[in-house]
Amino acid sequence: MAVNRAETTKIIIDHREAFFRIIDEIDSSGQGRRASEEFTVARYERYLSISTENLADKERWVVLDALSVTNLKRNKMLVFSHDQTGRFLLVGWLREMLRSFDDMRLRGLTQPDLNHLHERLAVLLEQVKGPQVLWIDNDQGFNELVRTVHDVFNDVAYRLTQNVAALKGRCDALAKIVDGADYSSMDRAGQIAKALEEIYSIHERNVIPTLRFLDPKLAIKRTVNTGGASNVINDPPMRIVEQVIERFGESKKLECVEQLKRVEFQILSLSDEVTILRQGLEQYIQLVEAQRRRYEVIERRYNRLHDEVRDRQDGRRRGFRIPMDSHIFDKAARFRGLKDHRARKGGLLDWPKGAGRE
């Protein structure tokens, strides 16, 4: 039975748990699958069956009909549906809507994403500065340009707002894991270490690039392809936003200036939120960096000890032990003088074949 798009959308919202299961599964899978966000029909139908099993028969069949791959395709809610591989992909607005129900499922913007937004703004500025633009209110070309400017501005603002919400949601969840530390459990300690590494990754790959994007004074020089030719962008994204608005101001389009200024202020306000987020992450970043420094020190000392011991394994029956006064033990000098409990006789070590620590 065919179900129209409006009713299908409502049913998706009411029964979104089936989609959440798949989204969470995708997010915890390999990088390739995370990037594509494809659903498998078999798994989708299984989760759909589980989420509707407690419904009355009549209601259940309505929901299953509405959320069937066939009905989603009929309502133009799929990018594609591939019968041979049994995979399909929801349209972008639907995926974003499902993720927007929980900040934990939102995706943060990385440097390539921000670069793309930067390039879109640069292309927009070239269009606004073009000599072919007639700044006449009723001109069709001008009206199309105004609509394009609003679309780009609004989309940039939307994506950055979603980005900040995603970063805050994910970092809050990770911080709770770290703050509830219980090192008596190896599994729990492993979760904490993983959470710290993810916080560090978010800080470096999402938070810092976002702050740079929002800084109108940051010197940026990038080469992009605009209008089929390579052009150099010398201005940061927010400075480009200002220049677009200034061009409308020069043409006395004050209503457009006012509308675009509101979007600009919204984008700039995100900088404060990201700054607060970065400051909140500092203690975790310092903890990760301290752990990495400790690990590097331990690894260096182990490698020195490893090399020293191995060099002494030359087949002789004497001199294969490292003397207690060796420089390699300088860092442990406080333990010198303790009673020696070494065995009177020791054999050569049976080193594994190959090089390095195996």
Percentage of residues in the chain having pLDDT higher than 90: 35
Nearest to 216 by CA among 265, 166, 260: 265
Residue showing tokens 């921000």: 114
C-alpha span between 67 and 96 (Å, rounded): 17
CB 17 within 8 A of CB 44: no
More confident residue, 307 or 314: 307
Q: 3-class SS at 191?
A: helix
Residue 327 neighbours by CB distance under 10 Å = 9
CB 22 within 8 A of CB 47: yes
| The predicted structure's pLDDT at residue 358 | 44
Query: In the chain, where are the structural domains located?
Result: 5-100, 108-298
Residue showing tokens 């009355």: 56
- pLDDT tens column, 90-140: 998 898 888 888 777 778 888 899 999 999 999 999 999 988 888 888 888
Region 157-182: what's the mean pLDDT? 87
Going by CATH, does the domain composed of 108-298 fall within 1.20.58?
A: yes
C-alpha span between 310 and 297 (Å, rounded): 20
- pLDDT tens column, 242-259: 999 999 999 899 999 999
Region 158-184: what's the mean pLDDT? 84
β partners of residue 67? none
| The predicted structure's pLDDT at residue 180 | 75
With a cut of 90, say whether residue 231 has pLDDT above it: no
Pair of tokens at residue 217: 């004074």
AA letter at 306: H
Residue showing tokens 């310092």: 286
| The predicted structure's pLDDT at residue 323 | 78
